Amino acid sequence: QDVDASWADGDWNADRRFGSGDLVAAFSDGGFEVGVRAAVAAVPEPASISLLLIGLLSVAKRRR
């Protein structure tokens, strides 16, 4: 049974249906690697920011 679907739902052959043809299309030519990517920004973890600040403060203190 096919279900109405979008690309994000797995409709890789753009027929608005998710079926076995989509899986064949995706895995035969690497179609699952191409498409819309989520807009994600890299955010540094707090520990790395703390280390950066400690390093900058120690360099500033050493120059005085």
Helices and strands in the chain: count of H runs, count of E runs: 2, 2
Indicate the number of domains in the chain.
Answer: 1
pLDDT of residue 2: 56
> How does pLDDT run along the chain (64 residues), one tens digit per residue?
556 777 777 776 778 877 787 777 777 766 556 666 667 777 777 888 899 999 999 999 998 7
Cβ 62 vs Cβ 56: under 8 Å: no
In this prediction the pTM is 0.33
Residues of the domain holding 42: 3-63
* Residue recorded with tokens 């035969």: 28
